Chain A
């Protein structure tokens, strides 16, 4: 496939391999692309490194938009395991639901999930911002180190287990908090951050309805009382 694609190009997974589609996306410095017949294929729009705009017109499989840098990727369907894992910058938006480990180890950028995310959303988060319109599954923000996770619905078991410094905002119920994760005071700086995140995500929600959770900072050093 040519590496001199024009703007507003349509790429079709039904007629090109995923490898060819990704090669075409990576060859572009800018422009808009539509990916058709995604059919849940794995590793779509991975490793992008330029401010391109990619819309996947369907469902995405594992590791979609992984390692994203600068690009804006929209999935007009559901996405499977490992969406936007290790994202560095840019924006990834999913209109539907996502499977486990969305935004795993992501360092930067904004991940917006308009539906629900399942288990381990934001596991080992390293600085990215994640906004979930629906609910998140168990062990979300496990060992999160930096960044923010906003949950407009409910959170599953063991939210923020072994968390370091990420900020978690949840509007609904929390099934249980993980080890060393506690509810924290909402100060003005947190209200400002949350309002900004909701605004950038395009989600209409009242900041006053959210609670903040974060690290009790009791796991930084080995403590025998924490052993099971």
Chain B
């Protein structure tokens, strides 16, 4: 099964409520994915790179890691810890930090990297994961969350969604991919680094790779329709954008609702029902193999 929700705000006045509304949506999807959960929130940041890390054992010595990173990368590092997660803010190149951690810290998984995105995950009751990481109090422009019923790989925190391999890009997935092993090998030859055995991480890395090659999000998704084999409903976040894509058979559920104030996507309508103004929303099911995307205007760039 698995449950997916995504909320992309068009009205800035709702930004203080992003986390609260996302938590309400996630709550409705608890029984679709009771084994683990996670969320990505685009809450802004400064010019520094921001990375969210997970300690797999829960016992990582963050202070020692911070000293090592400062010594290795000759950069400033600010560490903040939250349960088994740590958030780094640094003036170093974020990709270099991610690469160093993957190569040198086997007990640590890099959950996200970017200027805007933060990803938090946990095993067990999705509502508890949301509470542990303060989802309801978080603010921002858009958020994606997932409740997991594992099929393709183990129930671990690192194996929970969202998956994020490229800067400010993340993906949640309901379904299963059949050609992820081949794709993983192909992507590794292009320099992508993987941290789990999960098929959905491959989909996230695929999109990140296409976009690093210069594709827009929509172009990357068009390529994905050609190259990814399997069942999927994806919700994807980028620094300024949000997208939904279903495979050409479209067996995995999805519903989109849109008002002047927000766009919401979920596995089932009941996750959208608590949103303000839903009674006036345009509600539809995304068609198979059709890309749905929204973005905020970026400074100096058309919407």
A interface with B by C-beta (< 8 Å): 39-41, 59, 61-62, 78, 80-81, 96-97, 99-100, 116, 118-119, 137-138, 156-157
Contact = CB atoms under 8 A, between A and B. Distances in A.
Nearest to A135: B284
B250 A40 contact: no
Contacts, number: 48
Given A40-B28, A59-B273, A61-B268, A80 B253 contact: yes
Given A39-B273, A40-B28, A119-B250, A80 B268 contact: yes
A190 B176 CA distance: 44
Contacts of A40: 28, 268-271, 273
B275 interface: no
A78 B253 contact: no
Given A99-B253, A119-B250, A138-B250, A80 B287 contact: no
Interface of B: 28, 250-251, 253, 255, 268-271, 273, 283-285, 287-288
Contacts of B250: 100, 119, 138
Given A40-B28, A99-B253, A100-B253, A78 B288 contact: no
B28 A81 contact: no
Given A118-B285, A156-B287, 7 more contacts: A40-B273, A80-B268, A97-B283, A99-B253, A99-B285, A100-B253, A138-B288
Nearest to B250: A119
A78 B284 CA distance: 11
B288 A119 contact: yes
Given A40-B28, A99-B285, A119-B285, A81 B253 contact: yes
A118 B256 CA distance: 12
Contact of B269 (A59, A100, A138, A156): A59
Contacts of B288: 119, 138, 157
A80 B269 contact: yes
Contacts of A119: 250, 285, 288
A96 B285 CA distance: 13
A99 B28 CA distance: 17
Contacts of A137: 285, 287
B236 to A, nearest CB: 21
Contacts of B287: 137-138, 156
A40 to B, nearest CB: 3
Contacts of B255: 99
Nearest to A62: B268
Contacts of B269: 40, 59, 78, 80, 99
Given A39-B273, A59-B270, A97 B284 contact: yes
Nearest to A117: B285
A138 B270 CA distance: 23
A74 to B, nearest CB: 17
A196 B90 CA distance: 71
